[in-house]
């Protein structure tokens, strides 16, 4: 198994709380990615999209489930794939910070191991492209 990692670092002239809300809400996160996303399990915390919530991405058997493993409002979201998938040890980490200029910096990092040899590069490239395209949509949805 090979480990694959990529990081996207973007800055927006939008308040951090608004940017965080776009990524935290499962429905708006799906809009950013251009994929159907549905929360299938609510968090036990105040925010139903928070720690322990589960979202389903995709349609039917092509979809997968992700569970939120860390949720710090306006600071950090971490999640992992918790359904059957062609990748293992997946960790998505989205950090939100203020810049000295008063903008919002988003650092989105994903790492995973491939299960089927030599498929990880393809999965990583497709995933990174989809997330980069989605992140460019943040100003449109904020």
User: What pTM was estimated for this model as a whole?
Assistant: 0.94
Cα–Cα distance measured from residue 82 to residue 127, given in angstroms and rounded to the nearest whole number = 17
pLDDT at 84: 85
Whether domain 3-141 has CATH 3.40.50.300: the reply is: no
pLDDT in tens, 69-127: 999 999 999 999 999 888 899 999 999 999 999 999 999 999 999 988 888 999 899 99
């Amino acid at each position: 198994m090979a480990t694959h990692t990529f990081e996207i670092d973007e800055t927006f002239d939008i308040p951090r709380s608004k940017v965080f809300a776009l990524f935290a809400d499962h429905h708006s996160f799906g809009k950013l990615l251009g994929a159907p996303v549905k929360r299938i399990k609510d968090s036990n915390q105040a925010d139903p999209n928070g720690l322990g919530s589960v979202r389903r991405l995709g349609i039917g058997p092509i979809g997968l489930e992700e569970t939120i493993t860390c949720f710090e409002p306006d600071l950090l979201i971490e999640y992992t794939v918790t359904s059957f998938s062609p990748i293992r040890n997946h960790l998505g980490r989205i950090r939100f910070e203020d810049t000295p200029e008063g903008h919002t910096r988003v650092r989105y990092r994903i790492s995973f191991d491939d299960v089927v040899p030599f498929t990880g590069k393809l999965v990583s490239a497709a995933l990174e492209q989809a997330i980069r395209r989605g992140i460019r949509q943040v100003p449109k949805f904020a």
